[in-house]
Amino acid sequence: MQGYFITFFTQQSREHEGMPIATWIVEAARAIGVRGATLFSGREGFGHDGRFHSDNFFDLDDPPVQVALALTGEECDALLTRCAESNLRVFYTRSEIEFGFTSDG
């Protein structure tokens, strides 16, 4: 199957409509019928503003979070439309991919 691999990048404490952005994205994907999403918690990084984000015990400064999804073209369009309609501002990457299962079982 042809589609897209899309990754959203945010921080643990950022919220949208009263919930963490990563959770909002996962719920929005579920609502449009996406088959799955994976949430990754990062150890450290820095954002477009140059601020350092970490989960280090001595530097609990809003660790980075990623939401990754393999989507059909229609699912990708629907999810990005939902984000735009909700005025969600979050950085993402999108790459064309081939995806599927290794067997029917």
Angle at 92 between CA 86 and CA 4, to 5 degrees: 100
Mean pLDDT in runs of 10 for the chain (105 residues)?
96 92 97 94 63 56 87 98 97 97 89
- What is the C-alpha separation between 61 and 52, in angstroms, rounded? 7
Residue range 2-86 in CATH 2.30.36.70: no
Instruction: Specify the pLDDT at position 58.
Output: 53
Whole-number pLDDT of residue 83 = 97
pLDDT at res. 13? 86
DSSP state, residue 6: E
Q: What is the per-residue pLDDT for 48?
A: 60
